[in-house]
Structures are given as C-alpha cells and as structure tokens.
Structure 1
C-alpha cells in the first residue's frame, strides 16, 4: 500500500537491464519523476472514524442487533448481465450515493459488478473482471492453486453472511475520494454499515457482504494496477472477516491483520520506512496516517512469522481486544511468551533480524526489510544527552567508530529498558544494559564494530525520559557511506549520454577520502563530485567540487557474478581537500553501448522514504530529465547504484559528537505527553527548505503556528505552551502537531490537560 507521499508522477518506460544468475537479459522497468505520484491507499484511512461512530451507535441502540437477527432474506442468485444500483460511500462527504452497475462475472465465491460508466468508458473490461475473479477465487502470488478468499479464510476465519448468500459482492467503481490527479487514491474499502439494516444511524446499507475496488485512477487493465487492486482485496476482505468475529477490536490490531493479509497472499510489502524512519511512537496509536499503517504492517508481519500455525485466526476470533486479546491468543497458542515479551523481541528483530542469534530475533519473510533509523555516532564521546521515548515506543542509538566504549543510561522510569545489539567479526549478540550503571565493551572496534543500543519503554500509558553519556577512544580513521546492502543483481543498460548519480548526507567535521564504484566490465567512466542541490529536478548536481574524476577497472567478471563482487574502482579524492559539512552527489556519465563499455552495477532495495539513486535519461519518452528507477511492477522496490563514499575524521579536529544529518523528515512524539503547561516537540529535516510546524484541533483548524520559516538540514526542537495564535489558552483535549517541509508531512497526536 502506501508508499511515501513523494508527489511523484508515474511514467512507464521500457528499459533494458542485464542480469546474471539466469535472469532475463532484458527486463521492463519503470521510470518515475518527482512531480506527482499516483499511489494506492486503503479506504480504511477515510472511514475509520466513521466505523468508530457506527460502533458507538450500535452500542447505544442494541435494538439494531435484534432487528438484524430477525431480518431474513434469500440469496441474491445474480447472473452475468443482471443490473443493480448499489450504495457506495463518498469518502469526502461521508454520505452514500447510488452506483448503477452490471454483474460481469459470477464465481463460486463471488459476484463481480462493474459500474456502468466505467464499463462504457473502457476503464474496466472483461479481462480486468476475470483477473479480479481469478485473484479472489483461484490463484495468488503466494499460491497458484488458492485465491484470496481461501487464504484469508484459512488465516483469519470466516466472513459474515447477513444476506444468506455465501458469495461476496465485489463492486468495481470510481470511488469518490477527492482524488485530483496526483498523490494517493483509495484503491478499495470495506464499510461495515452494509452489515446492518438500511437506515441504521441514518445511513444507507446494501445489507450484503460487499466491498469496493477502484477503477479510476486504479487501472485494472495493467499488471501493476491489478496487483494493487488484488492486494487491497486481500486487505479489505480481512476487515470483513474481522468484523464477523470481533466487531470492536482496536483499529491497530485490525489493520495489522489486514496489512498482513496482503503479504500472506503474496503481494508486495510497501511503505516499510514510514515506521522504521521513526520508531519513537506509541505502538498501538491510530490516527489514520500512512505511518500508522506502516507500523501495523511490521507488527503484524512479526506475529505471522513468529506464530505461523493459526495464531492470527486465534487473535481475530478472540473477543478480548488490544493487548488483552493478544495475550489471550498467545495462551491459546500455548506460547509462554506474552505481549511484553513479544514487544521487546520485535524491537530487537527489527534491527538484528538474525535467527542464528535467537529465532525470536528474526523474521522468516523472504523480502528485504528496512532497519530502524538510528541516531548514529562516529565519535563515541557523546557528552550528556537527554531524550524521551514514547510509551510502547523505542529509540535506537548506534556507535560505529572508535574503541573502548563505555556508556551509562539513566532514567527514573522503571519501564525503560536498554539492550546492546552488537555485531562484528565475533558475530552478533544481544546484551541487557542495566540502568544507572556504566556498561563497557572492550571489544568495540575489534570484535564488535557496530553497537546499536535499543532504548524501549514498556509502559502502556506514559512516556519516559532518559539520559545517556558515552566515552571511548575516537580512532579517527575512515567510515563508509553506502545505500546498497546486498551484492549487485545486475546493471542498467543506460543509453550513451545518460548520467547516474548517488547523493550522500552531510557528515559534519569529516573529510571526503575516496569514492568507490562497482563497474560491470573493463574500461573507464568519467564523472565527479558535486554539491547536492536537495532535489531531483531540475538537477541534483549543484556546484562542482571535484571534476573530472575517472573510475577505471581492468577486468570483466563472468557470470554467475562472483561473491563478493571484485570489480570496484577506487578514486582517491584527498587532494581535493573536501569537507562534507553539506550533502554531496557523486555522478558518472555513460559512454558508448552498455553491451561493450562499463556501466555502474545496481542492486534492489525496498522503496525508501528518501530516494538517493538518480538517473538522467536521454531517451525517456517524457523527454530528457532526471528520474529514479523502480525494480518491479508494484513500484515498491528501487534500483540502487553501487557507488560508495568514504569519509575520514582527523582525531585532533573532533571536539564533540559527530552525528549524521537526518536522511528524511521526522517528527518525534512530543514530551511530555499528556502535558501541562508546555511540551517539547523535536523534529528533523533532511535538507534546507521552508518548514511549517503547526498545531491543529480535532476538526482541522490551526490552533498555533510554532515554526514557519526556512531552515537548514538538521535536528530541531520547538516548544508549545498551550497558547493559541490569538494569545488565548487552549482548552484541554486532543491536538495534532503537523510538520511540513519539501512536500512531505508527518503528524503526531498530543493531549493537553488543564
């Protein structure tokens, strides 16, 4: 679902790509620019508040359930060609409207209707209908012999049957969601109002098991459009099943199960970094943001992987909600672990993901998983730093350079726990770090070259403050900056005149030592180093810093590709005396034919919150311009060029902690929360730009403007004393703090108590 709201337009182009290991030598990929992306979202984002209202109405009017039980009807028994107008919900106005439609397919499990206007316009055809039918009833990427219906039922339980017809109605329509031509559109939704009698709570109901799939802008005539629709189908069908078993489950758990439903059926895992970029959030919180869905997906994935033999069905069928429901299901599963145990293990697994250390600290999911974004120190001498961690939230603090590390974590909160996640030549291990006691690791820098401290708060209600101070031997030396985490999978057959580019974050206090680039075959590529402009268009290449540079290798490795990849060109850039206090970009120009001259190797990576590998294409059908490449039809994976930078740190030049600049926009949970009279809001911006930090009330009105100015990349903190822009004290209640910069935004919920 949800990829980061880049506002990027999707442009499909054919590009030739050469691969080893038996992969096809020609593969179709997609180019994207960063103007306005079209990406699918679940309709639950628009309807979750309506579902809460409906749930409350039913609780206040129990006679509705009695009327529902007494209401009898016969099966629909639709045939292909039958017509009917169905009620759908306008997701902007939250009102129902009538959709004239015709039955276009009947299966053993479903009726598929298409909105007549979509059929007439050609947006939906019989091929698209048949593909949806096949996905729901007979085949999925996970199992060519099972459809979404059977997999979801096996995993989560049985759907309801208020209409006395075992078939599910699938309505393909143009969902009214306020879509304006770019950004997110609603790919589908389930709304439980259809499980109640028409007129319940003043709403219109179809009194049927029905869910909705979008046919505009969703394009069901393309492979990617069908994949998005099928993934959404798995998601929404789980909601229907969950409603049947446990109508009042908390939204986070319900959405976790729906996110996993798509993965169980074999559809793509998207939007991972929305959670891993900011893990300091209340696990079970729900405000309907894409970040909430990302967090729910990661939690649900862990439950599915760790408890694969029916746990999710036990969870869905359990009438207890939230943590109590999870614990009850753990007991039914006969697991000795409970929520508090699983929560800690999950946070460790997100960073470690290695079953050889402990099966609890790993996923079995085959696709690549992003790791949490850590506050990373190069110099182990941090000075004293105070931070806060949300209830059921976590921070990660990493040390990657130096030796003889000693660190003390202090907190007055008994719910704060610290774990040292160590990795290096000696292997990997997890160590408990006691509070208020100095922890030492004499093997840091030799046996263990990376130590990430996990700071978690197991409280379910209260945020906590903690302080840490580290000391050690700062070795100076060299640090590698890279975005590729795996061996190369191939190379892009870029045309002559194309340019490939990777940009890197600033590293204050460091100097650029060298550049390494992995090349496919013998020869040279000419390029250089530029100041990064901060954006893809008109160009990521700003002022030249070191031009020209030549990368040369003398060999052409055979296939299958050797591991590790041997064909790296190293360029010494120390004569340029470059400091990297600002982001910089490394680029190389492609010459001649890709089949005979060098090209930069690539690997695949999950779509990140910030794209770092760009290509200037001279042959795009949309005209010469800068793009980035996605590596699959779903658009949830990108190609990353194997270009790395190495920075060095003169020991005498470093007087305080060196901390990498933020790679993406990040808004931390305010502290304290709830608060009175004031609270601190920390945020990070990845590049220079206009920044707005505002406080909104529950109905979306601006209450207070905390920041509205241009700021440089970095970490910031703002205070809100509970006073409105009019100078009046804000009343007690829930507020939302929204950070906006560079076309992106993040939101956190705050509670003011007078």
Structure 2
C-alpha cells in the first residue's frame, strides 16, 4: 500500500513540475552562459611551453620500435595510495595484432596467459569496443598501432587498473610519461591468470577510456566511467552489477559528480544512468551523446530536446522512479 501511495506522490510531483510555466532564459543570463560554455581542452604541450618554459620538444618517432618476446624494458607507474611514481622492469610475454603484453619481472605470469589475453583483445575487445565508440589514437605517440598492456605490482589499495593520458605526452612535457598508449594493471587484483574474464572485462573498461581520450576528451569523469562500465556490460562482461548494488545502497549519491569516498556508488549510478538511457533510446542515441562536445548532462538534454523529448530533467525523474520501483513490466521499464 505504501509503495503504491509513494508512486502516486512521485507521479503527481512530476506532473506538477511539468505543468509549471518555464522560466524565461533571459531572466538567468549567468546560468544560461554557464550551461552553454564550452571549456577548452587542456593543451599540455601549449601549457608546457607557456608555464614551464619548455622550448625544446623532440619530434615523435615516425616508425615504431620492434620488440621481441622475452625483451625487457623499464616503465613507470603510479601508486595511488601514496601518490608516488615508481619504476620497474617488465618483460614482453605476449604479442597480438593490436597489443603488447608486458609483465613485471617480479611476477610468475606465464607466456601462455599473456598471449591468451592478447588473443582475446584482438578477437573481441578491440573490434567490439571500437565498434561501440570509435578509435584510439593510432598510431600513437610511439608511431605504433599496437597499444601496451602493462602488468605490475603496487598501484594502490583500490586500483585494479588505470589508463592515463599523461603517458601519451613526450617526457619533456610530462616527466613521468611512458610515451605509449597503454593500460596499467595491478597484479594484486588481476592475479596471474591474466587471460581470465575479470581481466578481459577490466581491459574493455580501460580501452573505452583510451578511445574516449581520443574521440571526446572533454567528457566529465562520471559519464566517462559510466560509459566504461556500460562497455563491460555490453560486451557481456557482467561484473558491473556490484557497483549498481553499491549505488542502490547509497541512492543519495550525486549522479553527475565524482567524489573521493564511496566510488562504487559513483560507478553504479553512472552505469545505471547510461544503461537506462540506452534501454530507452537505443545505442545510436547513446553514441551520439558520447560524442557531443557539451558538458555531460547538457549533452543528454541537447539530444533529448532535439528529438522532441521533454529533456534531461524529466528523464532523470523517470530514472529515479525506475530505480525505486525496479519493475520492468511497467511502461518504459
């Protein structure tokens, strides 16, 4: 009885809001200007010259370097728990058509496991994620069409893997850059069976970030993460359910923000929003929004109003109600 009463109350609130006279945008010029402002992309090369006084930047290579199985190289990674960069040695243990797999020499990951991940990246993760979102920078800063998958130890207590655009800049501008398009994984989270489905899922997540960095790097963090978790779900790696539960346990979590506390709830809210939009309007609509050069919620509002829909505020109200009711038999889910 209470649930039915609460549903009626929410519907009355929505309809009352929908029947109110909209405010004239001219009454709020500052708000309108903020909503329409396009923040310039951070150009780290330009900033390096202007703020760091950098005058000499070596030209990028025009031909990729050749690597062989068993070769060893030094790399850098970030320990997020102490916010410190550390250096380590890694061995090349897997080579695919589109990826190199490098393993920290302190680990016992086998060539078979490394090659297994390279193979599944080539056959599934690479083509399907590109079909969804577009392409990574290829060739990248190293003139190579292959990306790097780098496995090490000690990324921090809460990090399974990460992609950082810092690695795509020359070391003159970003001193700790590896100067490759790469993902970095923590072996403490991945384990030694790095071709397991969990690592495949993580790879799809991080590859979306790499593509997003090339296709639309002004996207807000919360939406970028939502698109990555959606990618895991869409590619039938369904481990995103844990974050949805985290959000449902903390529904007060702000959707269009990214805090330092309960990140699980942020991942969950973002992925549930993206999935709800996809189920309501389809994949092409989501792809269009993902490429819109507008702040996150404004991008949804822009698409919806162009399609003759009420807008993002109304969709958000529908989404909140759907999360509370959780009944797919109701109209529109």
- Interval containing the TM-score (normalised by the shorter chain): 0.7 to 0.9
Establish whether residue 313 from structure 1 lines up as the match of residue 287 from structure 2: yes
Q: Match for residue 87 of structure 2?
A: 98
Structure 1's 135 and 270: CA in aligned 2 closer, same or farther, altered over 3 A? farther
Deviations 1:68-99 (A, max 9, x none): 89644422332322322122222233332222
Partner Cα separation in structure 2 for residue 66 and residue 338 of structure 1: 48
Q: Match for residue 102 of structure 2?
A: 113
Q: Match for residue 231 of structure 2?
A: 261
Q: Match for residue 58 of structure 1?
A: 44
Partner Cα separation in structure 1 for residue 258 and residue 176 of structure 2: 27
Deviations 1:523-573 (A, max 9, x none): xxxxxxxxxxxxxxxxxxxxxxxxxxxxxxxxxxxxxxxxxxxxxxxxxxx
Establish whether residue 285 from structure 1 lines up as the match of residue 264 from structure 2: no
TM-score (normalised: structure 1) = 0.35
Partner Cα separation in structure 1 for residue 305 and residue 264 of structure 2: 31
Structure 1's 222 and 137: CA in aligned 2 closer, same or farther, altered over 3 A? closer
CA RMSD for the aligned pairs? Answer: 2.9
Residue 255 of structure 1 and its aligned partner are, at CA, apart by: 1.0
SS at match of 2:228: helix
SS at match of 1:165: coil
Establish whether residue 89 from structure 1 lines up as the match of residue 78 from structure 2: yes
Deviations 1:377-421 (A, max 9, x none): xxxxxxxxxxxxxxxxxxxxxxxxxxxxxxxxxxxxxxxxxxxxx
Residue 337 of structure 1 and its aligned partner are, at CA, apart by: 5.0
Aligned 1:399-548 pairs, distance under 5 A: none
Partner Cα separation in structure 1 for residue 135 and residue 304 of structure 2: 20
Establish whether residue 186 from structure 1 lines up as the match of residue 159 from structure 2: yes
Q: Match for residue 156 of structure 1?
A: 133
Q: Match for residue 169 of structure 1?
A: 148
Aligned 1:1-150 pairs, distance under 5 A: 58=44, 61=47, 63=49, 71-118=60-107, 122=108, 124-138=109-123, 147-150=124-127
Q: Match for residue 275 of structure 2?
A: 301
Q: Match for residue 236 of structure 1?
A: 206
SS at match of 2:243: coil
Establish whether residue 276 from structure 1 lines up as the match of residue 248 from structure 2: yes
Partner Cα separation in structure 2 for residue 70 and residue 327 of structure 1: 42
Contact 2:88/2:104 (<8 A) preserved:
yes
Partner Cα separation in structure 2 for residue 166 and residue 206 of structure 1: 16
Partner Cα separation in structure 2 for residue 231 and residue 165 of structure 1: 24
**How many residue pairs align between the two structures?**
284
Contact 2:60/2:143 (<8 A) preserved:
no
Structure 1's 217 and 277: CA in aligned 2 closer, same or farther, altered over 3 A? closer
Partner Cα separation in structure 2 for residue 319 and residue 70 of structure 1: 29
Contact 2:155/2:186 (<8 A) preserved:
no
Structure 1's 310 and 335: CA in aligned 2 closer, same or farther, altered over 3 A? farther
Structure 1's 67 and 298: CA in aligned 2 closer, same or farther, altered over 3 A? farther
Partner Cα separation in structure 1 for residue 48 and residue 167 of structure 2: 17
SS at match of 2:320: helix
Structure 1's 176 and 281: CA in aligned 2 closer, same or farther, altered over 3 A? closer
Which one of 184, 198, 202 corresponds to residue 212 of structure 1? 184
SS at match of 1:221: coil
Partner Cα separation in structure 1 for residue 310 and residue 143 of structure 2: 40
Residue 167 of structure 1 and its aligned partner are, at CA, apart by: 1.1
Residue 128 of structure 1 and its aligned partner are, at CA, apart by: 2.0
Q: Match for residue 312 of structure 2?
A: 339
Contact 2:168/2:177 (<8 A) preserved:
yes
Partner Cα separation in structure 1 for residue 322 and residue 152 of structure 2: 41
SS at match of 2:74: strand
Aligned 1:321-720 pairs, distance under 5 A: 321-330=295-304, 334=307, 336-354=309-327, 356-359=329-332, 362=333
Partner Cα separation in structure 2 for residue 316 and residue 67 of structure 1: 36
SS at match of 2:160: strand
TM-score (normalised: structure 2) = 0.75
**Which structure ranks higher in relative contact order (CA pairs < 8 Å, sequence separation ≥ 6)?**
2
Contact 2:89/2:105 (<8 A) preserved:
yes
Residue 353 of structure 1 and its aligned partner are, at CA, apart by: 4.3
Partner Cα separation in structure 2 for residue 329 and residue 220 of structure 1: 44
Deviations 1:116-154 (A, max 9, x none): 111xxx2x112321332233222xxxxxxxx11112111
Structure 1's 197 and 337: CA in aligned 2 closer, same or farther, altered over 3 A? farther
Contact 1:257/1:312 (<8 A) preserved:
no
Contact 1:245/1:319 (<8 A) preserved:
no
More helix by share: 2
Q: Match for residue 3 of structure 2?
A: none
Structure 2's unaligned 5+ residue stretches are: 1-40
Residue 112 of structure 1 and its aligned partner are, at CA, apart by: 0.9
Residue 111 of structure 1 and its aligned partner are, at CA, apart by: 0.9
Structure 1's 342 and 162: CA in aligned 2 closer, same or farther, altered over 3 A? farther
Deviations 1:307-364 (A, max 9, x none): 33323332332221221222344467x46353123212212222344454322xx2xx
Q: Match for residue 18 of structure 1?
A: none
Partner Cα separation in structure 1 for residue 264 and residue 86 of structure 2: 27
Residue 221 of structure 1 and its aligned partner are, at CA, apart by: 2.4
Query: Which structure: larger Rg?
Result: 1
Contact 1:187/1:228 (<8 A) preserved:
no
Residue 209 of structure 1 and its aligned partner are, at CA, apart by: 0.6
Structure 1's unaligned 5+ residue stretches are: 1-54, 139-146, 180-184, 363-754
